[in-house]
Amino acid sequence: MLDASRGRAMITSPASAAVFTMVLTQGPVSRVEIARRTGLSSAAVTKAARPFIDAGYLFEMAATERTAPGAGRPASPLAIQPGREFFTGVKITHEELIGVVTDLRADVVATARRPLAGCEPAYVVAELAALADELRGVSPAVRERCHALGLAVSGDVDKDTGLVRYSPFLRWHEVPLGRLAGAATGLTVTVENDVKALTVAEHWFGEGVGASSFALVTVGLGIGCAVVVEDRLVAGARGVAGEIGHVPVGGDGPPCHCGGHGCVEAIAGTPAVVEAARTALGDDALTLDGAMAAARAGDPAAAAVFSRAGEAIGRAMAAMANLIGPERIIVSGDMPGLAAYELFEDDVRKAFTLQAFGAAADCRLVLRPQPFEQWARGAAAVAIQTLFTLRER
């Protein structure tokens, strides 16, 4: 089926969702292979693929392989036409907006940044609209074919409604970001928690491709986590599943901005590490760089701060692995927070191995640093996934 107003292919059935998603994330792939992996008949695969070919989203490559030795004609793999549609993605921090334009395969074709002088929602949305317009203006093709905007925000986000319930670093409460951004830009807007957005990008286009179950843990201002189970991002009833940053591992202290005590984020988040290092070294002006330099120089007090942070992260990751049983855990995050990871990586792995139960300890840990542009790419990936995922109609 096509959306006549824009000539866009639409997902109208589980078969069309399965076929298009497989080609998008794992293609080029032949119809025979799609049928084998999905359990659909060859006729059903052809029927599902046809609207996407007609609309220019898919194309048939030259025949390269036979369905079986000596049998039938060579197969013509289906592949994505990446430039058929473009997507804007923006990561919103308390200091700046980081934006990208991607093609249909989430490959970045343009980037831009815009500093923020404040965090008042109306001001941020106005700056967001200006940045989106700048990004869409990189070429006539992008201007014509970019209809969707993905936004990534830290905190408690309701993706279904575009509501930011709580964002600690932006100090937002109950902000209807999706509605405000849609009105300001005229684009179709999706809003997602930033860690979940990054996980969507890894799931469809990155380290998570081919893994039916994995987790992504981010280390930075906060400690974030999102999990994919049986090829689905786990959101939970209210969209906050996976928040290991607020798993209590430190007893009665220190206090956390969420109102609890002993949370992983209150021990291992960048602000918490800096504050603990200042106290340990008796220097109220100490920065993260200074704390890292002291630890690398062998200062035992500084080293203990990073060791405690690593232990807290490792324990929380083990708790998550015991509950979910992921195939792998991708450790990522923003700079400069992740720059400290080498100082506590051994403590992370040691605590994880000690606390993980049985075979859960065999879960592979993968270090994957990500600049903020990749978080913005994650926002674009959510927009791609939302457009090409079957929804109730």
182-232: pLDDT as tens digits: 999 999 999 999 999 999 999 999 888 877 889 999 988 889 899 999 888
Structure confidence at residue 71 (pLDDT):
47
Range with the lowest mean pLDDT among 159-163, 257-261, 277-281, 305-309? 257-261
- Read off the pLDDT of residues 339-387 as tens digits, 9 standing for 90 and up: 788 898 899 999 999 999 988 888 888 887 778 899 999 999 999 998 8
For residues 146 and 168, what is the distance between their CA atoms, to the nearest angstrom?
31
- Read off the pLDDT of residues 93-136 as tens digits, 9 standing for 90 and up: 999 999 999 999 999 999 999 999 999 999 999 999 999 999 99
Does the structure show a pLDDT above 70 at 390? Answer: no
For residues 255 and 262, what is the distance between their CA atoms, to the nearest angstrom?
6
- Read off the pLDDT of residues 313-334 as tens digits, 9 standing for 90 and up: 999 999 999 988 898 898 887 6
Structure confidence at residue 73 (pLDDT):
55
Q: What is the pTM of this model?
A: 0.86
Does the structure show a pLDDT above 50 at 1? Answer: no
Range with the lowest mean pLDDT among 66-80, 161-175, 233-247? 66-80
Residues with Cβ within 8 Å of 17's Cβ and at least 6 positions away in sequence, in order, are 11, 388, 389, 390
Structure confidence at residue 4 (pLDDT):
37
Does the structure show a pLDDT above 70 at 3? Answer: no
Confidence of residue 251 (pLDDT cuts 50, 70, 90): confident
User: Chain-wide mean pLDDT for the chain?
Assistant: 89
Q: What is the mean pLDDT of residues 123-150?
A: 97
Length of the chain: 393
As a whole-number percent, the residues of the chain with pLDDT over 90 amount to 64
HSE, CB side, 13 Å, CA atoms: give it for residue 288: 16
Better pLDDT: 44 or 9: 44
For residues 11 and 390, what is the distance between their CA atoms, to the nearest angstrom?
6
Confidence of residue 6 (pLDDT cuts 50, 70, 90): low
Q: What is the mean pLDDT of residues 236-257?
A: 82
**Burial of 72: CB neighbours in 10 Å, binned 0-12, 13-18, 19+:** exposed
Task: Catalogue all structural domains in the chain, each as residue range(s) with its CATH number.
Answer: 2-80 (1.10.10.10), 85-200+374-387 (3.30.420.40), 209-367 (3.30.420.40)
Confidence of residue 268 (pLDDT cuts 50, 70, 90): very high
Q: What is the mean pLDDT of residues 133-154?
A: 96
- Read off the pLDDT of residues 16-37 as tens digits, 9 standing for 90 and up: 989 999 999 888 999 999 999 9
Residues with Cβ within 8 Å of 268's Cβ and at least 6 positions away in sequence, in order, are 219, 223, 308, 309, 310, 312, 313, 344
Structure confidence at residue 9 (pLDDT):
62
Q: Would you say 351 and 318 are in contact if contact means Cβ atoms under 8 Å apart? A: yes
CA angle, corner 391, sides to 1 and 3, nearest 5? 25
**Burial of 115: CB neighbours in 10 Å, binned 0-12, 13-18, 19+:** exposed
Structure confidence at residue 92 (pLDDT):
97
- Put residue 39 in one of left, alpha, beta given phi > 0 → left and psi -120 to 50 → alpha: left
